[in-house]
């Protein structure tokens, strides 16, 4: 069976239809955008972000009235060895897209990450906090933010974190897979952040696309699930809701070394997004429930 249908938005303007051009076709957020609205999604076969000029051509030759970039190089650990490629995809390409949108006079929405911050402290990050990425992926995403803001058009950046859904690869699906063969897991408990459902990110992007008049010039916004938790807490809730008898032992990040340094503090203050657009930080536990239901239906 197919996953349950989701409410879809209609886009109309006087004299014709609005066209939302989305870069990304198979990623978690891009998939949700296609489920929730009639968008024109562009995949690698039409515009590979490793070829920024191709991305610009797609925009300039389209009838798009707004562009959303939901595509990215997301292999955080591999980026340590492929930083040049990650920087082209996450840094140069979004800047080229933003300049093309500025040339056409249309708004541009770009998805970014909490990894642009140092990841220290315990306070939620606000949009104006100093940036200091600690790994290649974070540096590449920061390059993208800077390029988008330098393009001079009507752009907005949505930073998010710990994305999960019933699509693609993510923490929820990894935990469910491990639960098939394990009854105990050790999971990091000193990295704290907000798991964010991809469907809610898509909703937020579509709401922002509808309300471009509320955009601050070069606006940056934060959007993450609430309440904040550790990866161990996240795993525990997944197993609880899925009815899996898996015990979770919390461990420090030092006991689980990875090529890329992960931030210990991924907390994000989302009050600016709520104030400007009325978008409220989502309940990630409710998001897990939706994902589990979608996965259950899709396997029937």
How many whole angstroms separate alpha carbon 69 and alpha carbon 67?
Answer: 7
Residue predicted with more confidence, 6 or 198:
198
**Residue 123 CB-half CA count within 13 A:** 4
Q: Any idea where the domains of the chain sit in the sequence?
A: 20-170+196-226+267-282
pLDDT of 188 reads: 98
Query: Which position among 137, 164, 221, 256 bears the catalytic label?
Result: 137
Whether CATH 3.40.50.720 fits 20-170+196-226+267-282: yes
Q: Which residues contact 7 (CB under 8 A, 6 or more apart)?
A: 36
Tokens of 289: 């429930």
How many whole angstroms separate alpha carbon 157 and alpha carbon 149?
Answer: 9
Q: CA 48 → CA 30, 44, 52, 80, distances in Å?
A: 15, 4, 7, 21
How many whole angstroms separate alpha carbon 21 and alpha carbon 61?
Answer: 11
Secondary structure of residue 12 in the 3-state scheme: coil
Residue-wise pLDDT for 224-239, tens only, equals 999 999 999 999 999 9
How many CB atoms within 10 Å of residue 185? Answer: 17
Burial of 39: CB neighbours in 10 Å, binned 0-12, 13-18, 19+: buried
Distance of CA 172 to the CA centre of its chain: 15
| pLDDT > 90? residue 242 | yes
Q: How confident is the model at residue 212 (pLDDT cuts 50, 70, 90)?
A: confident
| pLDDT > 50? residue 261 | yes
| pLDDT > 80? residue 264 | yes
Residue-wise pLDDT for 48-93, tens only, equals 999 999 999 999 999 999 999 999 999 999 999 999 999 999 999 9
Q: How far apart are the first and last CA of the chain?
A: 6
Residue range 275-281: mean pLDDT, rounded: 95
> Is residue 60 a contact partner of residue 104, using CB atoms and an 8 Å limit?
yes
Is the backbone of residue 146 left (phi > 0), alpha (psi -120 to 50) or beta?
A: alpha
73 is catalytic: no
Q: Is the pTM of this model over 0.85?
A: yes
pLDDT, averaged across the chain = 93
Q: How confident is the model at residue 6 (pLDDT cuts 50, 70, 90)?
A: low
pLDDT of 17 reads: 63
Residue predicted with more confidence, 217 or 273:
273
pLDDT of 7 reads: 59
């Amino acid at each position: 069976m197919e996953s349950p249908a989701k409410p879809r938005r209609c886009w109309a303007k006087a004299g014709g239809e609005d066209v939302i051009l989305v870069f990304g076709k198979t990623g978690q957020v891009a998939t949700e955008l296609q489920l929730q609205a009639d968008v024109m999604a562009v995949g690698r076969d039409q515009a590979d972000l490793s070829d920024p000029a191709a991305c610009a051509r797609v925009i300039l030759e389209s009838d798009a009235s707004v562009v959303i970039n939901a595509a990215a190089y997301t292999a955080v650990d591999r980026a340590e060895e492929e930083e040049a490629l990650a920087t082209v995809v996450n840094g140069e390409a979004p800047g080229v897209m933003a300049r093309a949108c500025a040339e056409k006079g249309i708004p541009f929405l770009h998805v970014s990450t909490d990894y642009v911050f140092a990841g220290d402290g315990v306070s939620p990050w606000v949009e104006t906090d100093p940036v200091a990425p600690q790994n290649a992926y974070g540096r590449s995403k920061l390059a993208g933010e800077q390029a988008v803001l330098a393009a001079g058009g009507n752009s907005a950046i949505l930073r998010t974190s710990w994305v999960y859904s019933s699509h693609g690869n993510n923490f929820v699906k990894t935990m469910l897979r491990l639960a098939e063969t394990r009854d105990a897991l050790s999971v990091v408990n000193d990295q704290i952040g907000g798991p964010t459902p991809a469907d809610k990110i898509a909703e937020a992007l579509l709401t922002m696309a509808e309300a471009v008049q509320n955009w601050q010039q070069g606006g940056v916004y934060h959007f993450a699930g609430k309440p904040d938790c550790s990866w161990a807490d996240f795993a525990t809730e997944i197993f609880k809701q899925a009815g899996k008898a898996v015990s979770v032992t919390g461990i420090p990040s030092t006991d689980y070394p990875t090529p890329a340094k992960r931030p210990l503090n991924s907390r994000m203050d989302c009050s600016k997004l709520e104030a400007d657009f009325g978008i409220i930080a989502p309940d990630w536990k409710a998001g897990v429930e939706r994902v589990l239901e979608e996965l259950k239906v899709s396997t029937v």
